[in-house]
């Protein structure tokens, strides 16, 4: 993104663009320093405007990007397999994104407020603790649902001591997993072990499913299958299937009205992804507390566009559509006009842009379709149309039906 346009965005969000974000304390270079002011402001706003309900889902999302960047990731089970990996905490019921952070490579430290002992407990442990601390969810009685990439008995015990319940799948080769889970189990049966309030269950469905939970002791629960049949499952499996989809729900809403386009810079792509997340979060809040809670997502976005356009006081007034009547005076025929160089557009590299002459263009469209009109560096500043100095400038400002006059004659 050109520098002047980037500064305009920072000014719009009342953010100071200074170099303090290039180096963050003793942590060295910050890969997100070009977008860090906007990133911090938006993600902090996510956490402050709305407090989610009890059930939370923690999972990774993706910001699509196929360019060459050191911390680009590949996740095969995501709709966008290549991109920037984002760690997210979402409300399970609505998909509201409360915490959003980008993985930036080997120097990424998600748990900056943790002690030295936690730093030695592995990447996934620090990701979960860092995100939970950033969102202020510890000691609040929340239930967080995670997949086997994050879960471990050690992490579950730590979160339980912080008055936070954990439910999710877990890998059988994690440390401190009970050896009893190595035994084979018949279809529909389960084996479990408990220690200090942490329960691990191995249930045999079509394949082995290993769950970990600090909610309560393992018990069976009736659940409706996709075919409409009643199936008996462990309670941890039922709860996990019900509450784990918050992050996927948010990604689906963002992708439904995608703002992603081909961008030259990855941080521009991240900017528009954050903007899309902000609109999605606003729609979720409106569904909960707005006047029209049944409003569709598309109509909500259209209403945002209309209100932004209506409040844009600096926008030029569009010319009225349709042909003018014969008796109605034309400004281009009555007022004073002078040629001047065409100004460059904001952020454009070309300082002397070229545009097609309007008189040549409209004449060729009407009489010699297919012929390419010449380009010029001059325009009428008042009419904001590109014109050749001679004879097109005079023709445009003296003839009512200028498109019938051959400029080459």
pTM more than 0.85:
no
**Residue 159 token pair:** 């979160």
Cα 409 to chain centroid distance, Å, stands at: 56
Q: In this predicted structure, what is the pLDDT of residue 336? A: 84
| Cβ atoms of residues 124 and 132 within 8 Å | no
Q: With helix as H, strand as E and coil as C, how does the chain read?
A: CCHHHHHHHHHHCCCCCCHHHCECCCCCECCCCCCHHHHHHHHHHHHHHCCCCCEEEEEEEEEECCCCCCCEEECCCCCCCEEEEEEEEEECCCCCEEEEEECCCCCCCCCCCCCHHHHCCCHHHHHHHHHHHHHCCCCCCCEEEECCCCCCHHHHHHHHHCCCEEEEECCCCCCCCCHHHHCCCCCCCEEEEEECCEEEEEEECCCEEEEEECCCCCCEEEEECCCCCEEEEEHHHHHHHHHCCHHHHHHHHHHHCCCCCCCCCHHHHHHHHHHHHHHHHHHHHHHHHCCCCCCCHHHHHHHHHHHHHHCCCCCCCCCCCCCCCCCCCCHHHHCCCCEEECCCCCCCCCCCCCEECHHHHHHHHHHCCCCCCCEECEEECCCCEECCCCCHHHHHCCCCCHHHCCCCC
- Which pLDDT does position 182 carry in this prediction? 85
With CA atoms as reference, report the closest residue to 15 among 39, 31, 32: 39
Task: Note the Cα 183 to chain centre separation in Å.
Answer: 44
From 382, 399, 377, select the one nearest 409 (Cα to Cα).
399
What pLDDT, on a 0 to 100 scale, did the predictor assign at position 387?
Answer: 94
**pLDDT of the residue at 144:** 96
* pLDDT digits 0-9 by tens, 184-235: 888 888 888 998 889 999 998 888 999 999 988 888 888 877 777 888 888 8
User: What pLDDT, on a 0 to 100 scale, did the predictor assign at position 316?
Assistant: 57
Residue 28's pLDDT is what?
A: 60
Cα 287 to Cα 49, 103, 337, distances in angstroms: 15, 31, 52
The predicted structure's pLDDT at residue 16:
46
| Backbone torsions φ then ψ of 306, nearest 5 degrees | -65, -40
Spans of the chain, pLDDT less than 50: 1-27, 324-328
Closest residue by Cα to residue 395 from 382, 380, 373: 380
Unique residue bearing structure tokens 């008189």: 359
Q: Residue 349: what pLDDT?
A: 81
Residue 304 in tokens: 């945002």
Quote the pLDDT of residue 136.
92
Q: Cα dihedral angle (289, 295, 299, 301), rounded to 10 degrees?
A: 20
Rounded CA-CA distance 81/275 in Å is: 21
Name residue, tokens 């969000």: 13
Q: What is the pLDDT of residues 38-47, one digit of tens each?
A: 999 999 999 9
Residue 265, pLDDT score: 85
Length of the chain: 409
């Amino acid at each position: 993104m050109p520098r002047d346009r980037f500064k305009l965005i920072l000014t719009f969000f009342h953010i100071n663009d200074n170099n303090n974000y290039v180096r963050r304390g003793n942590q060295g270079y910050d890969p997100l320093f070009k977008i860090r002011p906007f990133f911090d402001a938006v993600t902090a706003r996510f956490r402050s405007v709305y407090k989610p309900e009890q059930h939370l889902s923690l999972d990774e999302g993706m910001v699509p990007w196929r360019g060459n960047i050191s911390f680009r990731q590949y996740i095969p089970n995501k709709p966008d397999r290549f991109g920037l990996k984002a760690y997210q905490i979402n409300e399970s019921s609505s998909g509201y994104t409360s915490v959003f952070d980008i993985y930036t490579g080997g120097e990424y430290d998600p748990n900056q407020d943790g002690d030295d002992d936690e730093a030695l407990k592995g990447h996934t442990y620090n990701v979960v603790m860092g995100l939970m601390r950033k969102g202020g969810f510890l000691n609040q009685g929340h239930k967080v649902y995670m997949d086997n990439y994050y879960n471990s008995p050690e992490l579950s015990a730590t979160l339980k001591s912080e008055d936070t319940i954990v439910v999710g799948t877990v890998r059988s080769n994690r440390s401190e997993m009970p050896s009893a889970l190595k035994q084979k189990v018949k279809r529909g049966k389960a084996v479990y072990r408990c220690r200090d309030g942490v329960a691990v269950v191995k249930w045999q469905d079509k394949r082995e499913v290993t769950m970990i939970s600090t909610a309560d002791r393992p018990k069976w629960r009736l659940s409706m299958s996709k075919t409409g049949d009643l199936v008996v499952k462990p309670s941890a499996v039922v709860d996990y299937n019900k509450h784990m989809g918050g992050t996927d729900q948010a990604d689906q809403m963002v992708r439904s009205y995608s703002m992603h386009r081909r961008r030259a810079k990855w941080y521009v792509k991240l900017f528009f992804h954050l903007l899309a997340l902000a609109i999605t979060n606003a729609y979720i809040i409106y569904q909960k507390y707005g006047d029209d809670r049944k409003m569709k997502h598309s109509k909500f976005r259209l209403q945002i566009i209309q209100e932004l356009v209506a409040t844009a006081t600096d926008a030029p007034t569009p010319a009225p559509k349709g042909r003018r009547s014969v008796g109605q005076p034309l400004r281009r025929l009555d007022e004073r006009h002078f040629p001047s160089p065409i100004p460059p557009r904001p952020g454009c590299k070309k300082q002397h842009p070229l545009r097609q002459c309007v008189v040549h263009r409209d004449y060729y469209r009407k009489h010699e379709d297919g012929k390419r009109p010449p380009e010029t560096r001059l325009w009428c500043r008042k009419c904001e149309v590109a014109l050749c100095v001679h004879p097109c400038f005079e023709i445009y400002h003296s003839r009512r039906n200028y498109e019938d006059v051959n400029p080459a004659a």
